[in-house]
Amino acid sequence: MFKPFREKEVMERLAKNNPGPLPESHLQAIYREIMSSSRRLQRPERVVYLGPEGTFSYFAGLEYMGRSAELTPKAGFEEIFRAVADGEAELGVIPLENSLQGTVGQVVDLFMLFPVHIHAELFSRITHFLMGKAASPSEVKEIHSHPQPLDQCSGWLRNNMPGRSLVPESSTAAAAEIAAKLGPTVATVGHIRLADRYGLNILAAHIEDLPDNWTRFLVIGPRPGTEKSRDKTSILFTVPDKPGALAEVLDSFAGRAINLTKLESRPLRGEKWKYVFFADLECDLSHVEYESFLASLRGRCHTLRILGSYPTGPHLDAGGRS
């Protein structure tokens, strides 16, 4: 059974007691596979993610859940939510926000439509590599990738690979497969693990224009998580149509010294000029000590839904940037 806080404790203990020389990230990768195999012995976990195989969502799920999880790609976010809500999958991995590009609005909208719950979060660094069959970048004539990585690396490509044709593809995995088939004159831009998967050489590392690029992923399930130690809660709420309604809700957080780390509004479907608010709180609202506060909060909101209380997630850096 997936226990994110217990696994987080193990990883933190490993980091604290690691004498070297094996890097912390390598040691954690080994133990993540051990825990993944242990979960599989108990019961294989069916996990859905935004496909195809080889996307950053796929690698985030792989790095966090381990190779023993049954990872199944879905064509869109709604298909992920539906698969989890209908019981086709035990868990889903979805990107909620990016440090450079902000919140994925469609994901927030889907929380309004499907009765799923947040079990965990993880932060994955988005770092890009130039890969191909060539021995050096000078052999490359074409660079294939999904439009987003090409855009995120446009400055580096312009300065270091001038005159090369940039060819958009449906996914980074599809682009890597093309580079593997067409030989040394074709390269791709994407996740470092694509090099191993398709037998490509690393021609240049960390070529993204803005290096501090992280995506926050959520792990969702059909029922509330069962973790005993949780320090973060996500909620959706609407407020009454009256002056000062939102201020009253925010005052209730301040009155209990609850840190609000995210607050974002989205249009409420079917309600013109009305909005729903997504918020992250640094607390476990499911704990008994917050019962009276929660009752007060419900009284100030028009509607309130607790999406889940869960442990603060780890930061995963598969690219190994120092």
Residue 74 belongs to domain with CATH number? 3.40.190.10
Higher pLDDT, 255 or 125: 125
Residues 99 and 23 in one domain: yes
Please provide the DSSP assignment of 212-258 as one string.
Answer: --EEEEEEEESS----S---EEEEEEE--SSTTHHHHHHHHHHHTT-
Residues 274 and 171 in one domain: no
Q: What percent of the chain has pLDDT over 90?
A: 63
Cβ burial of 259 (10 Å; 0-12, 13-18, 19+) is exposed
51 DSSP 8-state letter:
S
319 belongs to a structural domain: no
What is the C-alpha separation between 314 and 140, in angstroms, rounded? 37
What is the C-alpha separation between 231 and 282, in angstroms, rounded? 6
Judge if pTM exceeds 0.85: no
Q: Does residue 239 register a pLDDT over 50?
A: yes
Give which of 214, 227, 269 is closest to 118, Cα–Cα: 227
Q: Which of 226, 258, 275 is the last residue of a domain?
A: 226
Q: Can you state the angle between helices 77-85 and 105-113, rounded to 10 degrees?
A: 30
pLDDT, position 5: 53
Number of domains in the chain: 3
Residue 322 pLDDT grade (very low, low, confident, very high; cuts 50, 70, 90): very low
Residues 83 and 221 in one domain: yes
Cβ burial of 255 (10 Å; 0-12, 13-18, 19+) is exposed
Give which of 51, 186, 194 is closest to 129, Cα–Cα: 194
Nearest 5°: phi and psi at 83? Answer: -60, -40
b/e burial code for range 173-184 (CB count within 10 A of at least 16 → b): bbbbbbbbeeee
pLDDT, position 229: 72
Q: Does residue 274 register a pLDDT over 80?
A: yes
When pLDDT is averaged across residues 164-191 and rounded to a whole number, the result is 95
Sign of CA pseudo-dihedral 194, 198, 199, 201:
negative
117 DSSP 8-state letter:
E
When pLDDT is averaged across residues 100-115 and rounded to a whole number, the result is 94
DSSP SS3 for 269: coil
Residues 181 and 251 in one domain: no
Are the beta carbons of 229 and 300 closer than 8 angstroms?
A: no
Cβ burial of 245 (10 Å; 0-12, 13-18, 19+) is middle
Give which of 111, 225, 130 is closest to 172, Cα–Cα: 130
Terminal C-alpha separation, the chain:
33
DSSP SS3 for 72: strand
What is the C-alpha separation between 259 and 240, in angstroms, rounded? 23
Residue 38 pLDDT grade (very low, low, confident, very high; cuts 50, 70, 90): low
Of the ranges 32-36, 54-58, 75-79, 314-318, the best mean pLDDT one: 75-79
Judged by average pLDDT, the poorest of 43-47, 200-204, 300-304 is 43-47
Residues 118 and 154 in one domain: no
- Identify the CATH number of the domain in which residue 254 sits: 3.30.70.260
Residue 225 pLDDT grade (very low, low, confident, very high; cuts 50, 70, 90): confident
Give which of 37, 46, 38, 35 is closest to 7, Cα–Cα: 35
Range of the domain at 21: 4-125+214-226
236 belongs to a structural domain: yes
Judged by average pLDDT, the poorest of 24-28, 34-38, 137-141 is 34-38
Residue 209: other Cβ atoms inside 10 A:
16
Helix (H) or strand (E) segment spanning residue 93: strand 91-98
Residues 247 and 165 in one domain: no
pLDDT, position 22: 64
